[in-house]
Structure 1
Amino acid sequence: MTSEWDETFMQQTRKERELQYSPSKWFTRISPPAAFVEHHISLLTKGSEQAKQSLECALNISYGDKPLEKLDIFGGQTLPAGAPILCYLHGGDWAMMGREVSSFMAPPLMSAGIIVIVIGYHKAPEVDMPEIVCEVKKAMSYILKWANNRGSRSVYVGGHCAGGHLAAMMLSVDWTKELGVSKDLLKGAVLVAGVFDLRPLVDTYIGDPLKLTRDVAWECSPCRHVDAIASLSRHRKLMAVMGENDTPAFRQQSIQFVEALKKRGVPVQVKDFEEYDHFQINENSWSEYKGIANMILSKD
């Protein structure tokens, strides 16, 4: 039986796979590649600092006992009890960046009436992939209980790149069984240039610090759990955000995941930004694309 997942990576060398998942090496608007990444982090850092200085926020809230198991809440005191919530998970190959530089999208979303919660988690090589997924699940448990207690009508989870992967993994959890909250509380997700099949990252500079084996990569891949995600997401609102100039592998990851969900009867909105590369999607989509806020604010 032919797999619905692209498995051409199995015939690719380590060097070829690493290039596909190294977006900074594909673009020329800033060079060298290291400066490209530094520029991206600098923009996000500046935007996040401005958010923390200008918005009502509660920082460094512990959701677990470990040092980086913390989250920041923007608008929790000033927005109405029923306001929708977006939980954001940062990217960075599960090894870079952090909560501290990931609240850059809070100003436009909070001004629209959306509470923003930025989730921190430990990164490779300190922890492996299953532990990262476990930490994020712990954070979402904390947030869903908090949202339920305050009377929030909806919670969304979203993220960029590695954060898109982690957000998609949270869609596979039956939160009603886990926490006893309404099945309608986790209302949907915004997946920005996510990674939904981790197997191409095995035996790469990205996968090695995460101690990724083929079995672990498959078990921690949203595509492995697509049937569960589809079953739990019949009435959720899902959005996949892509960039026309992202690498072929990143685009293929989003396309095949969307197609698999649609095949199972789950509608998914797709926004494909013309001329945007892997980093521009995250830098600009949260503020430029009103469809994200409109979807989160919709009561349908």
Structure 2
Amino acid sequence: MDTISLHGFTLERQPAPPVKAAEAYSDTALRLSAQPMPGIVSHRDIAWGPEPWQRFDVFAPEGVTQALPVLVFLHGGGWVVGWKEWGGFMAPAVAAAGAILVCPTYRLAPAHRFPVNLEDCLDALAAVKERIGDFGGDAHHIYVGGHSAGGHLAAMVGLRRDLWRGRIGKELRGILPVSGILDLVQANPAPESLEAAVYSTVLANPADDVAASPVTYAADLRMKLLLAWGEHDSQRVKASNAKMAAALSSMGISFDSMRLAGLDHFDTHLVLQNAGHPWYSVLSRWIAGQT
């Protein structure tokens, strides 16, 4: 595996991110994740299979005396780039909310096209469920979230119950996509656009755009859901979250949502270094069993 060293992490070398702003985001997320985290015990590169991508990082509070709920958070990167190390900086805030953070990786397009990434995420959840007790986690109390493409995958994990096949079940309590891309359907996307790349690079079959869209499965929501997006997010994120919210509301299905004032597509994740952010208030409320 060809590797590079960034902020003390040894990472698989990847192509440049699909948009320029993502480079600054990546550098910031890695820098934050490399900082010391007092009170947090880090377990990195836990293998759940023989392949390099079959790894997850676990971040647990020191001195855990009872099994804690688990937040599995999936990295973004347009399904074509991304490292699990982008999410580690959330650990202190997740711990303050009363949970353990797990950051897995998954295979990337174009070498591995959808639905390979979704199957990887489901397999990762199964591995977390099996192993998390070793790190002080409660295998019966799991949430899944993610940023951007990771938000899309988190939503698919929670909504596609027909794909669970014993890998995950009622222990999955809620979904938290942050700036998630919830509708992949785009008629006549502009050439070279991110929307066009979904068809040319991400999907194994371009005709699967509907089947690969979380909004298609809105009626199948059977757990808690928090939709979060930025005021200055990408248009497709804002539109797809609005479409999901409208679909759920039309069916009388309850969910939480928050529009993050003043934030763009990358700020919505980086702001989660702040334990006092309202996003964590929702997670804490869920953990406490409050509606």
User: Structure 2 length normalisation: TM-score?
Assistant: 0.80
State the distance in 1 between where 2:50 and 2:105 align: 13
Higher helix share: 1
* Counterpart code for 2:40: L
State the distance in 2 between where 1:203 and 1:121 align: 21
Matching residue of 2:156 = 169
* Counterpart code for 1:297: I
CA deviation string 1:41-65 (max 9, x = no partner): 1110011112578730211112333
State the distance in 2 between where 1:265 and 1:95 align: 35
Q: CA deviation at 1:170?
A: 0.8
Residues 159 and 80 (structure 1), Cα distance of their counterparts in 2 relative to 1, 3 Å cut: farther
2:139 is equivalent to residue 141 of structure 1: no
- Equivalences for residues 66-105 of structure 1 within 5 A: 66-75=51-60, 78-105=63-90
Q: CA deviation at 1:130?
A: 1.0
Residues 65 and 76 (structure 1), Cα distance of their counterparts in 2 relative to 1, 3 Å cut: farther
CA deviation string 1:124-181 (max 9, x = no partner): 1221011111111111112233458964452110011101100001112438973287
Question: Would you say the 8 A contact 2:97–2:281 is kept in 1?
Answer: no
Question: Would you say the 8 A contact 2:69–2:138 is kept in 1?
Answer: no
Q: CA deviation at 1:218?
A: 2.0
Matching residue of 2:217 = 225
Q: CA deviation at 1:295?
A: 3.1
CA deviation string 1:174-194 (max 9, x = no partner): 3897328762x2110111111
State the distance in 2 between where 1:248 and 1:177 align: 31
Question: Would you say the 8 A contact 1:84–1:113 is kept in 2?
Answer: yes
State the distance in 1 between where 2:97 and 2:196 align: 41
* Counterpart code for 1:42: D
Question: Would you say the 8 A contact 2:182–2:241 is kept in 1?
Answer: yes
- Equivalences for residues 1-300 of structure 1 within 5 A: 34=20, 36-50=21-35, 55-75=40-60, 78-147=63-132, 151-174=138-161, 178-179=165-166, 183=170, 185-200=171-186, 204-228=196-220, 230=221, 233=222, 236-285=223-272, 287=274, 288-289=277-278, 290-300=280-290
C-alpha RMSD of matched pairs (Å): 2.9
SS in 2 for 1:71: strand
SS in 1 for 2:196: coil
Unaligned runs of 5+ in 1: 1-23, 26-32
* Counterpart code for 1:56: V
SS in 1 for 2:201: coil
Which deviates more from structure 2 when the two are superposed, residues 50-59 or residues 101-110?
A: 50-59
State the distance in 2 between where 1:40 and 1:174 align: 32
SS in 2 for 1:65: coil
State the distance in 2 between where 1:133 and 1:296 align: 25
State the distance in 2 between where 1:66 and 1:180 align: 19
SS in 2 for 1:75: strand
Count of aligned pairs: 263
Higher strand share: 2
Residues 276 and 178 (structure 1), Cα distance of their counterparts in 2 relative to 1, 3 Å cut: same
Matching residue of 1:12 = none
User: Structure 1 length normalisation: TM-score?
Assistant: 0.77
